[in-house]
Amino acid sequence: MLSNSFSIANRIINQLIRDRRTLGLLVFAPLLIASIVGVSTPEKQMLDYTTPAMLGMLILFFGFLLTGISFQRERSQGTLERLLAAPVSRLDIVGGYLFGFLLFALAQTLIIFFYMVYVLDITHQGEIWQIIVFQAVVGVGAVCLGTFASTFARNEFQIAQFIPIFILPQFFLCGLLWPVDQLPEYLQWIAKFLPLTYAVDGLREIMLHGKNLLDVWVELSVLVGFAVVMSVLAALSLRRGSVG
Residue 28: what pLDDT? Answer: 77
Section 66-80 average pLDDT: 76
Query: What CA–CA distance (Å, rounded) separates 219 from 165?
Result: 22
Section 180-191 average pLDDT: 91
Is a pLDDT exceeding 70 seen at residue 84? Answer: no
Q: CA torsion sign, 195 to 186 to 217 to 171?
A: positive
Helix (H, G, I), strand (E, B) or coil at 217: helix
User: What is the average pLDDT score of the chain?
Assistant: 81
Residue 119: what pLDDT? Answer: 85
Place 244 in a pLDDT band, splitting at 50, 70 and 90: very low
Query: What CA–CA distance (Å, rounded) separates 189 from 109?
Result: 29
Contact 148, 94 (CB under 8 A): no
pLDDT tens digits along 20-57: 666 666 677 778 888 887 777 778 888 888 888 888 98
pLDDT higher at 99 or 207: 207
Section 97-124 average pLDDT: 81
Angle 217-236/195-209 helices, nearest 10 degrees? 150
Residue 114: what pLDDT? Answer: 85
